[in-house]
Amino acid sequence: MRSDRVKEGLDRAPARSLMYGTGVPESSMKRAHIGICSSFTDLIPGHTGMRELERFIEKGVHTGGGHAFIFSVPGLCDGIAMGHKGMHYSLPSRDAIADMIECVVEAHALDGVVFLSNCDKITPGMLMAAARLDVPAISVTAGPMQSGVYRMQRRSFVRDTFEAMAKCRKGEIDEQEMSNLEQCSCPGQGACQGLYTANTMACLTEAMGMSLPGCGTGLAGSAKKKRIAFDSGVAICQLVEKGITARQIMNEKAFRNAVIMDMALGGSTNTCLHLPAIAYEAQVPFSLELFDELSKTTPHITNVRPGGEFFMEDLDYSGGIPGFQQRLIDMLEDNITVSGRTVKEIAKSAVIYDEDVIRPVSNPFHKQGGIAVLRGNVAEDGCVVKQAAVNDDMHVFTGKAICFDSEEESMEAIKSGKIEDGMVVVIRYEGPKGGPGMREMLAPTAEIMGRGLFHVALITDGRFSGGTRGPCIGHISPEAAEGGTIALIKDGDDIAINIPERSIQLNVGEEELEKRRSAWVKPKPKFTKGYLAKYATRVSSAAQGAIFKTEDFFS
C-alpha cells in the first residue's frame, strides 16, 4: 500500500508515533489509510450539510476495512462572490484546491481518497487532483437544493433573486416582495436548483464513472444522499484493494461520455473550462472542438432551469443520470466506474419515471446539444454559447456593439437604461489573464433578462454562470488582455452572430482592424501582488481550460 511508506519499518517509528497521537489504534496500521477530502464550510449552502455526510463516508470506510482521515479544502460561493472583487478568486481557486490536495495526499501517503464537494470550482478542482495523483478515488457531491416555494410557486435562486432585482429596479415588484423572494429562493442546504455549474459538474462526475449511480442528482439532506455517502466509503476500500485508480476510469471514453451527457442535459458552459482541465491532469487528449462535434449529434432531451422550467429534483425523481444513460446508451462508450459496474450495465438497469423530463432521443427539446462553439474574427481560438438557453429568434442576430472594459462599467449602463434591443454588449478584459480569473457575468445577463431585453446579445472574454440564459457568448479567445480582436471592437461596430453556422464575426475591414491593432496598448495588470498576480502570469487561455500547463514552466 502507498501508506506503507509512512507506517512500515523501524525508520517510520516517528511517523507511527504521531499517528498514534491522533488516536489511531495499532490495528489500523494494517488497514488502508483513506482520506476524506471535505470542502465543508458554513459560508455556502451547498456545503453546510457536509458534516453529516463526512460521518456517513467515515462509517463506510471503516465498514469496508479502511481507516478514514478527514482533511479539508476551502470553498467559495460564486453567488456570494459575484459582482465584486471576490469573483476574481473563483476560477483560480480550482487550481489552488488541486494543489492543496496533492500536498496532503502525497505528504501523508494516503492509499485512496473520497472527495466530498458540491459547488462550482471545488468539484473540478478535486477531480483534477484525483487525475494528477492517479490514486483510487471516488467523488461524493453533496447534492442539489430543493426548490423554494413562495405564493404556491416553485422558486429558484437565479430567476428569483438575480433576475428579480431588475424587476424591482423597474418597479414591477416592490422591495417587500424582493425581500420575500430572497428568503424563499434558497430554502436550505444544497447546490442551486438548476443546471448551473455545480449541478452540471455533479452530473458529469457521475457520467464519467467517478461517483456512484444516483449521486449527481440525489438531493442534499436526503437519506438517499447519506446512503450514497456510506456506500462510497465502502467502495473506496474496494477500489484500493483492486488497485483501480482514477486514470483507469477517467480515460478518453469517460470524457466523451461526459461531453455527450453535458449536451443532452444542456449544462453550464463552464464545463468547457473544467473538462479540459481535468483531462489535462488525466493526460487525456481533449480539445474545445469535442463539445461542438458531439453537440451536433447529441439531442438535448431535458429542459432544466435556467433554459427550461424543470428543477434538479425533477431529474432525480424521473430517473437521474442512469435514466439519461439509458436514453443515450447507443451513443455512450462502455467503461468501468467506481461502482464496479460498467456504464452500460448501469444504463440497462435504469428506470425512467417521466417521459417528458427525460425524453427519448426521438423526441428531444432540441435536435442538437446544449453548447455550441463559435469561431470567427472575434474569436479565432473559439468561444462558447449555451444554445439550448437561447430563444429561436436570436440564433441568428446582427447588432451594434456597445463596449465596456469591465463588468462594473456594463452594469452601470444596463441599470441606467442605456442598453436597448438590437445591441451587442461587449465586456472585455475579464479573461483568465486580464480579469484576472475570468469572472462570471451572471449579474449583467440576469439584469438584461429581468428588464425584458430579449433582443440583446452579450459577448465577453469572461465567462457565464450556468444560470445564464439568452444569447450570451463567453470564453472569447484570444482574450482582450492578449490583444485579441475583442479588444479592438468600437461602439457602433456591427457584430454578426450565427449559432447554426457556428460563426461570430466583426463586420469591420481587415485594413481598419490592422490600424486599430497597431494602436492598441496592452493594459497594466490589475493585481500586482498576491495569488491573483501569480495566477495571471501563468494561466493559459480559456480555449485550453484556463489551466497551468506544466510544460510552460520549463519552456
Candidates 429, 426, 491; CA nearest to 456 is 426
Name the maximum alpha-carbon separation found in the chain.
76
Rounded distance, CA 129 to CA 281, Å?
8
Q: Is 440 annotated as a binding residue?
A: yes
User: Any residues with CB less than 8 A from the CB of 143 and at least 6 apart, and which?
Assistant: 118, 190, 191, 202, 217, 218, 219, 220, 221, 222, 225
Q: Is 392 annotated as a binding residue?
A: no
Rounded distance, CA 438 to CA 304, Å?
25
Please tell me the total number of residues recorded for the chain in this structure.
Answer: 555
Q: Give catalytic residues, as residue numbers.
A: 465
Rounded distance, CA 241 to CA 235, Å?
10
By the 10 Å C-beta count (0-12 exposed, 13-18 middle, 19+ buried), 530 is classed as: exposed
Rounded distance, CA 216 to CA 195, Å?
11
- Specify whether the CB–CB gap between 470 and 449 falls below 8 A: yes
Q: Is 120 annotated as a binding residue?
A: yes
Q: Is 95 annotated as a binding residue?
A: no
Rounded distance, CA 479 to CA 59, Å?
48
Rounded distance, CA 209 to CA 3, Å?
25
- Specify whether the CB–CB gap between 209 and 252 falls below 8 A: no
> Could you tell me the three cell numbers for 324?
439519461
Annotated binding site: 78, 120-121, 440
Annotated binding site for Mg(2+): 78, 120-121, 440
